[in-house]
Amino acid sequence: MSNTILDFNSPSPLYLQLYDILHQKIMSGELPPGSKMPTESQLIEQYSVSRITVRKAMDLLTEENLIIKRSGKGSFVMPTKIQEHITGQNSFTITCQLNNLSAETTLITQELRPATEAIAKLLKIPDNSSIIYVKRLRFADKVPIMLERIYLRFDLFEYILHADLSKNSLYTLINQKYPENQRKLSRTVELSTATSEHSKYLNLPKGAPTLYCQELATDLNNIPLFRITQNIAGERIRFTSQT
């Protein structure tokens, strides 16, 4: 960081001056998204101010959602957020394209398995019916964004079982049998926190804020087709209702 000097004779409080300096460094990209902020001790030494002054400046940046504090690790500039429509009308790949980001997928699990009682009820199939279960980790510009689980009715989508879902679009495959104009999608989004599994895959501290999305697709006669759940790094995505 360049050593910008505070004006100790200014009527403007020192914490506001420090806030302005750090704010400008974030906005200019000198402190890029995801980078670690200087520690309290470093800022105290660099600007010759008290710990209280530093904390008040950092608190303002936190309130404005410009930085995020991670217990035991320090403060970081808020990562660039992906803009996604609240209805989930676009696939993850298209959403990344609209945000000028590169989408990637790591396939963790893809197998045929018996449906649990809960999934069988959601898909309206007999207990222990076969389903295609897929677990994927989705990235935007190499940054992990979501851990995704997909439950497809095997009797409807047998051909997807051996498709390469690390490279092929799931929705493109689904459209082969059920185009978008022949299915409906319901979606719920709620706040959650990162479990040990989410921490591992999404590179988040355990307990960090996440979003839990649930989607159920049906045909036009309300017959369930597939179920998707997504655990999303809350600091890396922003939902919008803009059209």
Condensed to tens digits (0 to 9), the pLDDT of residues 123-177 reads 999 988 999 999 999 998 888 999 999 999 999 999 999 999 998 889 899 999 9
Return the CATH class of domain 82-240: alpha beta
User: Does 82-240 match 14-77 at the fold level?
Assistant: no
pLDDT of residue 3 exceeding 60, the answer is: no
Q: In CATH, what number does 14-77 get?
A: 1.10.10.10
Question: Considering Cα of 188, then 189, then 195, then 197, what sign does the dihedral take?
Answer: positive
* Residue 1: predicted pLDDT: 42
**Which of 1-10, 53-62, 193-202, 212-221 is predicted least confidently?**
1-10
Please name the helix (run of DSSP H) or strand (run of DSSP E) that holds residue 22, with its range, or none. helix 14-28
Is residue 122 within 8 A of residue 227, CB to CB? The reply is yes
pLDDT of residue 203 exceeding 60, the answer is: yes
Q: How many CB atoms lie within 10 A of CB 22?
A: 26
* Residue 102: predicted pLDDT: 85
Q: What tokens were used for 90?
A: 């676009």
Please state the domain extents for the chain.
14-77, 82-240
* Residue 241: predicted pLDDT: 66
pLDDT of residue 237 exceeding 90, the answer is: no
Cα gap 114→111, rounded to integer Å: 10
User: For 10-60, how does the pLDDT look when each residue is reduced to its tens digit (9 = 90+)?
Assistant: 999 999 999 999 999 998 989 988 889 999 999 999 999 999 999 999 999
What is the full DSSP assignment across 33-98?
TTPBPPPHHHHHHHHT--HHHHHHHHHHHHHTTSEEEETTTEEEEPPPPEEEETT--S-HHHHHHH
pLDDT of residue 238 exceeding 80, the answer is: no
pLDDT of residue 208 exceeding 90, the answer is: no
pTM strictly above 0.85: no
Helices then strands, counting H and E runs in the chain, come out as 8, 10
